[in-house]
């Protein structure tokens, strides 16, 4: 289903305008936040740096870009009619289809008139005397608002590595997260892809279909399970829709990562070798991220995880013809400690004669040159470079804004040793500032859509409460925040998630403090948020 009606975005807001709320970012989070603020009867505007809405799905247009969460679950649930009327075409939706859906939502709820595009907010300062946020745009305008809500996304600040000579390359350069809207034709070209995370794994088979030669520069190999993507049948879709309420509920109440199914409870540590093999094979055939749910202890028990890792390593060996290439593609880290990838034809692509894997472990990239790069002693030449080098995750987009709270304290200074939030929603010293899926909340370790909706619901209920009770300020308490940060770490350290150099820890960005950022366990998190409200906004000060 496609939505073609274009709504009208507003003309630039006049400098000096005062509003009830300002939202930064027009992805899934910003759109729903605006919807809820309007329901409260508040004046609000969303500012978006891009020339269109969609956030992550506006920017990530590389070949093969798809969601790794099944389409039927990766959608809003706040409006049951919307939920019923939208039809997804495939098990895993493509980027264009998801963007189409976002545009449909914006039109359906007439959200565009309050979304200003092409506008980057570069400063947000709290005015203590008035209890209001003063926001400044890159084009020099200033506005004020009682509430400032960051809907800036977890994977929105592209990471271009600081490789010497990076500006010298005379050919075409692309980052997967900043892909040209008109697309790129690699036909007959020699192409380099740097990186082998999810974006690379999705795009490499398609780039290989066009390129005359493809060089993949790999620093760390990743595990990947097949997507087994397919068209969604009418019956399958109808049956999911008929059970939407109950299925969504499972995500909130039972599944640790917010998925719409029951998590298995049986343990790998209690299974025989034969049973494990059978179970992994069954999950391999189902495909997708749910592989990590084959047993309840895969992310808790090292030996259990090792058996799943071994299964996946064997699968790489069975897909790749050249044993040396297969060995180089074989990961050694704990499965799931770096995000598990979901692919279509990825490993088999290395069987094509024009696709070459370059293992950077042995010889890192020394420099980019005018027509290629040098890794170790070897000189490579190509016409285009694709940087599939990921993002400054979870805090990168916030760090680009000059955020100052009470007494002029900079958020960047406060978070210098790692982000400090209460529930991932707020930070002490920064009243009336909310983060949607901020660090310290389940966010990237869940299906993002229910996580976003849960946060937006919490924030709007909180604002409604402040309005009704005549209060003008809410601020997280330092002690509640520190206890929460400690708890986030404790929970993570009881699992195998923090053991690799992943972007969950900021380890992909040189100099970024190594702190595990997402909170593990969606249902317990949701319950905690309920309790906080039930106990009169426990851990917050309202005035
Ligand atoms: P990822 O998963 O962060 O992957 C980035 C890849 O780029 C990864 O293989 C990195 O290797 C590699 N990388 C980063 N910097 C360099 C340098 N300097 N040299 C060589 N290789 C480098 O980003 P994606 O965009 O693929 O996926 C992000 C998320 O989006 C994904 O998890 C899904 O949730 C959707 P490393 O592993 O750091 O050694």
Domain assignments of the chain as residue spans, ordered by start? 18-155+393-536, 190-387
Give me the mean pLDDT over the 85-95 stretch. Answer: 97
In angstroms, the CA 392 to CA 504 distance is 10
Report the separation in Å between the CA atom of 193 and the middle of ligand 1, taken as the mean of its atom positions.
11
pLDDT given at position 520: 98
pLDDT digit string, tens, across residues 357-391 = 999 998 999 999 999 999 999 999 999 999 999 99
Terminal Cα distance for the chain, rounded: 47
> In 490-500, which positions are buried (b, 16+ CB within 10 angstroms) versus exposed (e)?
ebbeebbbbbb
Report the separation in Å between the CA atom of 444 and the middle of ligand 1, taken as the mean of its atom positions.
15
As a whole number, the mean pLDDT across the chain is 97
* Share of the chain residues as helix, strand and coil, in percent rounded to the nearest 5: 35, 20, 45
Q: Is 155 in the pocket of ligand 1 (CB under 6 A)?
A: yes
If 0-12 CB within 10 Å is exposed, 13-18 middle and 19+ buried, where does residue 11 land? Answer: exposed
Report the separation in Å between the CA atom of 358 and the middle of ligand 1, taken as the mean of its atom positions.
15
Q: Is 269 in the pocket of ligand 1 (CB under 6 A)?
A: no
Q: Is 360 in the pocket of ligand 1 (CB under 6 A)?
A: yes
Shortest-distance Cα residue to atom 25 of ligand 1 = 390
Q: Is 21 in the pocket of ligand 1 (CB under 6 A)?
A: no
The count of residues in the chain is: 543
Report the separation in Å between the CA atom of 195 and the middle of ligand 1, taken as the mean of its atom positions.
5
Q: How distant, in Å, are the alpha carbons of 208, 311, 389 from that of 195?
A: 15, 24, 5
Give me the mean pLDDT over the 457-480 stretch. Answer: 98
pLDDT digit string, tens, across residues 311-367 = 999 999 999 999 999 999 999 999 999 999 999 999 999 999 999 999 999 899 999
pLDDT given at position 2: 40
Q: Is 339 in the pocket of ligand 1 (CB under 6 A)?
A: yes
Report the separation in Å between the CA atom of 289 and the middle of ligand 1, taken as the mean of its atom positions.
18
pLDDT given at position 6: 56
The HSE-up count of residue 15 (CA atoms within 13 Å, CB side) is 7
pTM of the model: 0.97
Residue pair 15/141 in contact by the 8 Å Cβ criterion: yes
Give me the mean pLDDT over the 243-248 stretch. Answer: 96
Read off the tokens for 363: 């010889």
Q: Which of 389, 391, 449 to mutate to test the pocket of ligand 1 (most atoms within 8 A of CB)?
A: 389
18-155+393-536 belongs to CATH 3.50.50.60? yes
Q: Is 160 in the pocket of ligand 1 (CB under 6 A)?
A: no
Q: Is 395 in the pocket of ligand 1 (CB under 6 A)?
A: no
């Amino acid at each position: 289903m496609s939505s073609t009606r274009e709504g009208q975005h507003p003309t630039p807001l006049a400098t000096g305008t005062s509003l009830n709320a300002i939202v930064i970012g027009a992805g899934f989070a910003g759109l729903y936040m605006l919807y809820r603020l309007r329901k409260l009867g508040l004046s609000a505007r969303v500012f978006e740096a891009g020339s269109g809405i969609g956030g992550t799905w506006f920017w990530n247009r590389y070949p093969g870009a798809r969601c790794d969460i099944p389409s039927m679950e990766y959608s809003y649930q706040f409006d049951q009619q919307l939920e019923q009327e939208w039809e997804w075409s495939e098990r895993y939706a493509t980027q264009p289809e998801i963007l189409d859906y976002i545009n449909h939502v914006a039109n359906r709820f007439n959200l565009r008139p309050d979304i200003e595009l092409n506008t980057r907010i570069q400063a947000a300062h709290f005015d203590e005397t008035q209890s209001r946020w003063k926001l400044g745009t890159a084009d020099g305008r200033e506005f004020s608002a009682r509430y400032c809500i960051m809907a800036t996304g977890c994977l929105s600040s592209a990471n271009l590595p600081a490789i010497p000579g990076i500006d010298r390359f005379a050919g075409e350069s692309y980052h997967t997260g900043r892909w040209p809207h008109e697309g790129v034709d690699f036909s007959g070209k020699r192409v380099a892809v740097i990186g082998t995370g999810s974006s690379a794994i999705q795009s490499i088979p398609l780039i290989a279909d066009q390129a005359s030669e493809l060089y993949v520069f790999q620093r760390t190999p990743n595990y990947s399970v097949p997507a087994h993507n397919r068209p969604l049948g009418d019956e399958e879709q109808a049956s999911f829709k008929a059970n939407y309420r109950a299925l969504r509920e499972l995500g909130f109440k039972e599944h640790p990562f917010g998925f719409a199914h029951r998590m298995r409870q049986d343990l790998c540590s209690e299974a025989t070798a034969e049973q494990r093999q059978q179970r992994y094979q069954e999950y391999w055939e189902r495909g997708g991220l749910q592989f990590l749910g084959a047993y309840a202890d895969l992310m808790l028990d090292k030996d259990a995880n090792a058996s799943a890792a071994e299964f996946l390593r064997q699968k790489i060996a069975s897909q790749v013809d050249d044993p040396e290439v297969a060995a180089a593609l074989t990961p050694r880290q704990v499965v799931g400690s770096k995000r598990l990838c979901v692919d279509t034809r990825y490993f088999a692509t290395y069987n094509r004669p024009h696709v070459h894997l370059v293992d950077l472990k042995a010889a890192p990239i020394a420099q980019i040159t005018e027509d290629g790069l040098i890794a170790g002693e070897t000189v490579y030449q190509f016409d285009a470079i694709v940087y599939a080098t990921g993002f400054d995750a979870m805090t990168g987009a916030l760090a680009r804004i000059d955020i100052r709270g009470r007494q002029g304290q900079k958020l960047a200074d406060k978070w210098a040793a790692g982000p400090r939030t209460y529930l991932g929603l707020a930070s002490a010293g920064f009243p009336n500032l909310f983060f949607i899926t901020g660090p310290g909340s389940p966010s990237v370790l869940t299906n993002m859509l229910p996580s976003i909706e849960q946060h937006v619901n919490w924030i709007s209920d909180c604002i409604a409460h402040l309005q009704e009770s005549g209060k003008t300020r809410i601020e997280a308490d330092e002690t509640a925040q520190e206890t929460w940060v400690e708890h986030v770490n404790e929970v993570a350290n009881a699992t195998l998630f923090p053991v690799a150099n992943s972007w969950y820890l900021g380890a992909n960005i040189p100099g970024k403090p190594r702190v595990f950022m997402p909170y593990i366990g969606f249902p317990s998190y949701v319950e905690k948020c309920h309790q906080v409200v039930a106990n009169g906004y426990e851990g917050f000060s309202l005035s």
